[in-house]
Structure 1
Amino acid sequence: MATDRRTLLADAALGVLADQGIRGLTHRAVDRAAALPDGTTSAYYRTRAALLTALVRRLVELDQQELESTAARVAPPRTAAELADGLARLAHGRLTGEGRRRSLARYACVLESVRDPELREILTPRENTGRDAVRHFLAAHRVGDVEGRALTLLAGFDGLVLDGLVRGEQALRRDALEGLVAAALRP
């Protein structure tokens, strides 16, 4: 039961962070969001740092699950248009519904990680299905410096998602995604 309770609390903490920001992330707020008695969160995560670390680990886990689920349903991109389509679907998912809430929490955690090496280590991009798909796509198109271009493309994508969160989903234009892909493919 402890693992299930820890997951429930991490999920509730994600929601609190998305809805109230970093200042709103308290043990008591997580207890309320999880509909548990006061003191439950602090019994599992004694400090705010422990709570934030658990939240970040859960966030990364959910992101990985999302990418793996998408990869299982969608064929790898073969053309620039297919890659731009995939990025557009991913961006839409990160700007709406639960994806939006996770994105808001993710960016708050990224800013916290500037001062917290443990959080930064957890959040540092690792191997994942999305990154692999971009690398394979670029390699199939015989692009030089596949790793560097993949990282640049994904950083640009991340910036567009952040801009979409700030200015509204309509700010994320298809031609911007196509431009990222075209830039990554340039000789």
Structure 2
Amino acid sequence: MRGLTHRAVDRAAGLPAGTTSAYLRTRQALLTAVVGRLVALDQAELDAAGRKIPVPRDPGELARHLAEFTARRLTGEGRRRSLARYACAVESVRQPQLREILRPRRNAAREAVRAFLAARGVADPEERTLTLLACVDGLVFDRLVDGGEVTEEEIGGLVAAALR
């Protein structure tokens, strides 16, 4: 977070010095814009994933789709964005106005998980969906910090727990 400055954004974007501060006058405005952009990119990715993949037919298929998605969050651009998202989440502890921007939103992928759980008669599928996805997110965080990858078996265990 300390490295997020108007000058650093200007340099990274190849803009003349002062351009970013002309549009985003304060550090708070810059941070809010960054968080908003991260959320917009995540929402677009989740909506695209949910539209591309129909409601899973069985727990194994759901685990496979979630494992493939988490793999994208741990490599390349997905890794950079995941690290930025977690840094912003920690910053939201000090700046609560960011929390509302970061709050999980409805999207096609989340709806596919909820529909899967509801079709299997899970009590309170909305709450169970949020819990399952929070657990998957925790695995992503753990692997970003400690290295390694999230396995389909690990995700399968979380899916099985969500179904109980």
TM-score (structure 2 length as normaliser) = 0.96
Q: Is 2:160 the counterpart of 1:185? A: no
Specify which structure has the bigger relative contact order, considering alpha-carbon pairs within 8 angstroms and separated by 6 or more residues: 2
CA contact (8 A) 1:92 1:169 kept: no
The equivalent residue for 2:151 is: 173
Structure 1: distance between partners of 2:127 and 2:49: 24
The equivalent residue for 2:63 is: 84
- In structure 1, the gaps of 5 or more residues are 1-21
Deviation per residue, 1:147-183 (Å, 9 max, x gap): 221111011001000011111233x232211110000
Q: Is 2:129 the counterpart of 1:150? A: yes
The equivalent residue for 1:62 is: 41
Deviation per residue, 1:84-107 (Å, 9 max, x gap): 011101100100111111101000
Deviation per residue, 1:61-98 (Å, 9 max, x gap): 11111011112222221210011011101100100111
Structure 1: distance between partners of 2:51 and 2:123: 28
Q: How does 1:1-187 map to 2 (within 5 A)?
A: 22-170=1-149, 172-186=150-164
CA contact (8 A) 2:74 2:82 kept: yes
How many corresponding residue pairs? Answer: 164
The equivalent residue for 1:9 is: none
TM-score (structure 1 length as normaliser) = 0.85
Amino acid at match of 2:161: A
